[in-house]
A and B are shown apart, each in its own frame.
Chain A
Amino acid sequence: MVNPTMPTDPVEPPYAGHGALGLIAAEVWDHLWPWSRTGFARQRTLQAAGLALAAGATVMWVLAALGRLDAGAVIGWWFGWSVFEVIVRLGSKPYVKEGPWWGRRYRKATLMDMVCYVGFKNLLIGATLFIALKSTGALVL
């Protein structure tokens, strides 16, 4: 029987029953570390990784050819990594949170859910890192 109260079927990640601090720590780890043991066991991940990295490298080199190597390399690398991460997560941690971010409801992630999750998360992480690199002068635009 389908549960229509969620856009996809509910899922319980291993840490769903942890206490508040444990849950926060586990979610932070989840945001930063896309792999899981079960995910490694799947060969399609490796294949997808090759494709994703090739796509990322292509973008990077096109940008480099346009004379924007410094910032372009970073954007290209981050884009490539994000594609890779989407595919890795779909194999290893295929769930997203449903409803309030402080809640404990999780659901199965569709491809678009994962694209939205990784895209949004990596945009925030990327922007933070980009600003940090710029402010230290490590990145020249």
Chain B
Amino acid sequence: MLQDDPKMNMPAPLRKLLTGAALALCSALALADAYNAELPAELNTAPDLCRLAPCTEVLPGATEFSERKGRPFYVEGYAHKDGQRELVGYVMLSTDITDIPAYSGKPVITLIGMDSTGRFAGVKILKHSEPILLLGIPESALVKFNDQYLGKFVGDKIEIGRTRPEEEIIGLDAISGATVTVIAQNQVMMTSGTAVARQVGILEPVVREPARFIETGRTPDWAALVKEGSVQRLTVRPEDVGLPRNGEPFIELWFGYLNQPDVGRALLGDVPWRKLMERLGENEHALFVIRSGGKESFKGSGFVRGGIYDRVQIRQGADTFTFRDLDYLNLYGLAAAGAPAYDESAIFIVRPEHQAASFSAAWPWKFAFLGNRVDRATGQRSFASFDTEYWLPAHYLQGGRPHIEQPVPPWLRVWQTRALEIALFAALLVAVGIVYANRDRLTRASTHLNKWPVNAFKYSAWLISIGYVGFHLMAQPSITQVLTWFHALLFQWKWELFLTDPFIFLFWIFIIVTVFLWGRGLFCGWLCPFGSLSELLYKLGGAIGLKRFQFKLSKPLHDRLKWVKYAVFAGLLGVSVFSMTLAEMLAEVEPFKTTFLVGLLNRSWPYTLFAAGLLGLSVFIERPFCKYLCPLGASLAMPSTFRWFGLRRKQECDTCKACAKGCGSLAIDKDGRIDQRECLLCLDCMVLYTDGHGCPPLAQERKRRTKAGLPLTPIGADGYYIPIKPVPAKTPATV
């Protein structure tokens, strides 16, 4: 129904509904328990972990706990039976072991219990910063996800997705809409569990074939050793640990493997090297470490006799090797010409059998410096590990370096396991792009009375978008992703983070490309799941007899209200600079999570009322959310100002109102100009553009030619009948 009355003509019940929805948005928010929870400052360092953390909750039956022990840390839990103390299992704090970040870029701090046979006994989230779990998905979903680990053996292959017995993979159900979070959480669980299980002997150590060295007799100098990779450097900058930059490294270390005869002799000299090798037992390995920069000690100022050097360790695969005082020897000097000056040095001995693990110099390993990172905003300290990989050059190893099967990264695993769905989704995006690129053919095949050549494709895209993309894949783009990217750009960009959700990743590539080609309309008008649902409801409303209740806001009112969405976007962007958490909360102005990710019936009533209210309103007004509130639409509208290819116009459009009256987006002004920021590319005006009966200038010309008996030539690219140009008759040839 067209609305020419400049006054707004909104039925009273709808006004009340809109008011209710707005009030619902402002209602109290149910905050999650562990979201950015304040944890005791000494949680990361106190020997008595279980005094500060609820260990009994994750290790049922245990009544007494040891202090932190091992490397990485864990605690033992005991029960008393018949006066005897009995080991029940182990408790570990995830951040003692790994700092794998989740979607927020920060780790989910998890307390994990494992029984003495290596089965997960309990999991408790102490703190997380996941925005999706703040409001979109109840925190209980993550608790439920974690409960899936209970009773599972730490040595099993546990992955997100379906169980695949043929590959011995145990699948876990993901949390819809929080895929990245649960993938990170699975890495945290398995990394933590296996690290402790290996230490305590539950998991057998990985046996690696020992290295067999080639001795060439060469004595390379320092530069040559560095160049070939026999000596490596590990530099930690002050800013890496949250300190102000001062031009000096926080610590600069050089290290290398000494058992290889050429390398060892070159570094220590022949006699010292031979003496060192005589002191080493079978399957023992020596490495040197020197500090050439920074003031921080790698040995640690608090080191005590009999203790462990807690600032350095080496890792090979999942095995970690630490050094005690008996594993330390003085390094009296470096013989390699060109070695840098240093003010702290050591030779560390790796004794794998002491740590129930195997070490082989033929395989790559990492030298790690462990420290604390200070959050400059909050002052809180968190565990941080900095490492550099070392792999003895192939020419020092008989048979060269062994072939290593690199583990498949989690994001790649997602792409592999969902390959078919990804291919279908990519095909949909490409198909819509191709259809729109051929819009001229479709609009020419349509008339103002029959728009099916266009609408068949558009409505198909809507249905697929709602059903497959929205409800099945839950790939609804959101302003929170724009804010996350903005912050990732500023703070820490990780491709893996974005690749972990392939559908959103592909969708954004499509959005970016099409916004610059044609404007935001192809996404907003054809493929946005919520936008499609909204307009489909409007069409259905009209089809079932509600047309007489359907209305448009007056153009002047629309022209004022359309700026609201830009204000919402600017507000969210501004707030996100100060508080991403608050911005994520305010981003609930998008009803996407409620509609597709969580479900209308699974959220608390204010959200359901808001989303349902907007969808209900959509039956009567075409896309009210898209036109007036959507911050994502606003963020895409801004670059749409500079789209390359706009819709066509004729000069007569300045006085003719035919297209403007039919424009559902109210994107055509009184002068016939299209506001590309508001246009949703429905193509209705383009159908008229070449419709000899619908477009007034064309209809006029058609009638004129018909009356004059002139032929109706095809309509050219300029939107007019191709002019008839009289051609002079050919003069008969004279012989």
Contact = CB atoms under 8 A, between A and B. Distances in A.
A109 B65 CA distance: 70
A63 interface: yes
B654 A4 contact: yes
A133 B376 CA distance: 18
Contacts of B577: 63, 72, 75
B641 interface: yes
B639 interface: yes
A141 B243 CA distance: 10
B244 A140 contact: yes
A5 B237 CA distance: 56
A101 interface: yes
A24 interface: no
Interface stretch (B71-79, B148-156, B322-330, B670-678): B670-678
A67 B578 CA distance: 11
B653 A4 contact: yes
Contacts of A100: 644-645
Interface residues of B, number: 32
B332 interface: no
A127 interface: yes
Contacts of A130: 489-490
A101 B489 CA distance: 25
B661 to A, nearest CB: 15
Given A3-B651, A4-B653, A140-B376, A127 B639 contact: no
Contact of A117 (B237, B566, B642, B671): B642
Contacts of B673: 2, 4, 6-8
Contacts of B649: 4-5
A72 B376 CA distance: 12
Contact of B674 (A3, A7, A96, A116): A7
Contacts of A72: 577
A6 to B, nearest CB: 7
A104 interface: no
Nearest to A1: B654
A70 B661 CA distance: 52
A137 B651 CA distance: 56
B677 A112 contact: yes
B578 A101 contact: no
B38 to A, nearest CB: 17
A57 to B, nearest CB: 15
B214 interface: no
B245 interface: yes
A117 B639 CA distance: 8
A3 B650 CA distance: 9
Nearest to B637: A116
B642 A116 contact: yes
B654 to A, nearest CB: 4
Contacts of A71: 490
B655 to A, nearest CB: 9
B645 A99 contact: yes
Contacts of B642: 96-97, 101, 116-117, 120
A17 B529 CA distance: 45
Contact of B491 (A98, A113, A141): A141
A140 B239 contact: yes
A131 B489 contact: yes
Interface string B662-703: 000000000111111100000000000000000000000000
B564 to A, nearest CB: 14
B578 A120 contact: no
Contacts of A28: none
B646 interface: yes
A108 to B, nearest CB: 12
A137 B241 CA distance: 13
Nearest to A115: B638
Given A2-B672, A7-B675, A68-B377, A117 B650 contact: no
Contacts of A39: none
Contacts of B650: 4-5
A138 B245 contact: yes
Given A112-B677, A137-B237, A138-B245, A4 B639 contact: no
A119 interface: yes
B135 to A, nearest CB: 23
Nearest to A71: B490
Interface in A59-95: 62-63, 66-68, 71-72, 75
Interface in B363-396: 376-377
B223 to A, nearest CB: 25
A101 B490 contact: no
Interface in A120-141: 120, 127, 130-131, 137-138, 140-141
A137 B489 contact: no
A67 B579 CA distance: 13
Nearest to A140: B239
B639 A120 contact: yes
A130 B237 CA distance: 18
B203 to A, nearest CB: 38
Interface in B590-644: 638-639, 641-642, 644
A96 B641 CA distance: 9
A3 B648 CA distance: 12
B489 A127 contact: yes
Contacts of A68: 376-377
Given A4-B651, A117-B641, A137 B675 contact: no
A70 to B, nearest CB: 8
Contacts of B638: 115-116, 119-120
Interface in B96-118: none
B644 A99 contact: yes
Contacts of B675: 7
Contacts of A117: 641-642
Nearest to A8: B673
B575 to A, nearest CB: 12
Nearest to A114: B641
Interface of A: 1-8, 62-63, 66-68, 71-72, 75, 96-101, 112-113, 115-117, 119-120, 127, 130-131, 137-138, 140-141
- 8 tightest A-B CB contacts, nearest first: A4-B672, A116-B641, A4-B653, A2-B671, A140-B239, A116-B638, A2-B654, A4-B649
Given A68-B376, A72-B577, A130-B489, 14 more contacts: A4-B672, A7-B674, A62-B578, A66-B377, A99-B646, A100-B644, A112-B641, A112-B677, A116-B642, A116-B677, A117-B642, A127-B489, A141-B239, A141-B376
13 contacts: A2-B672, A2-B673, A3-B651, A4-B654, A5-B649, A7-B673, A7-B674, A8-B673, A67-B377, A75-B577, A99-B645, A101-B644, A141-B491
